Structure 1
Amino acid sequence: MTADKPSVLFVCVHNAGRSQMAAGYLAQLSAGAVEVRSAGSEPADRINPVAVQAMAEEGIDITDQHPKILTTDAVQASDVVITMGCGDTCPFYPGKRYEEWELDDPAGQDLDHVRPIRDDIKGRVQHLLRELGLPVAIDG
């Protein structure tokens, strides 16, 4: 982590849908200006294929990602920690910026139900970039 490159950690329970979509958007929209992490309190075996499909519609490939376990090191190394329904399982460290994003879980949903979740995440990521004082590479 450097002073000119903030680090953001997205956390959800399974690290298979919401947090992976958010990480994909942040990596794409920040054009590398942000160190992006994602993790889950109870990681799934694989990424939600409908989330992969929804992101592919946006031209973002998250097929090379895999669910990761949430560690205290990941939280400590991040400037901003964004949780998505992981509740009290996310460790808290003073001095970190925490946000809770209330989002429906895409698990078990079809593509028509995942698209609005994806679009909500995109808007939140764009807003986060602006709050961090960073340009949005693709503002669609």
Structure 2
Amino acid sequence: MDTHRFNVREITKHIQAFYKKKRLFRVCHEGAHSTQAMHNLRVVVDIGDLNYILDIKVASRFAMVELNASIEKLVKEALKHNLMPPVVPAFTRTTVGGAFASTTGASSSFKHGFFDRAVTWLKILLPDGNITRVSRQ
């Protein structure tokens, strides 16, 4: 969790600096299937290090996951606790953030809905560098 806090703090510093200077920037991570290669961009905030499963609470069946963690990594960690995400896309290298943003579905979606329905809440880093927590409520 300390690594997570450090990474978020560093990313926040970069975003706040660009926001204060009114400079355009792009947030991305190398290796994403839908993201341009970072070497083609001038001003980039790299979020590639946000790829960990931070915590799994067995009793509440809750996993705290960074957006670049793969579905494969989430499934492997969940299985260690005899748990499984309700929706597991066929392409397991999809990131949790990508599955959420694209409302990824799977064969279990007829019962559980798309992947985003399994997400309880998110922390979002806004363009001005503020962090807010959002949920359906």
Q: Note whether the superposition's TM-score is higher than 0.5.
A: no
Q: Which has the larger radius of gyration?
A: 2
- Using structure 2 for the length normalisation, give the TM-score: 0.30
Q: Which has the higher contact order (CA 8 A, sep 6+)?
A: 1
Question: How does the TM-score come out when normalised to structure 1?
Answer: 0.29
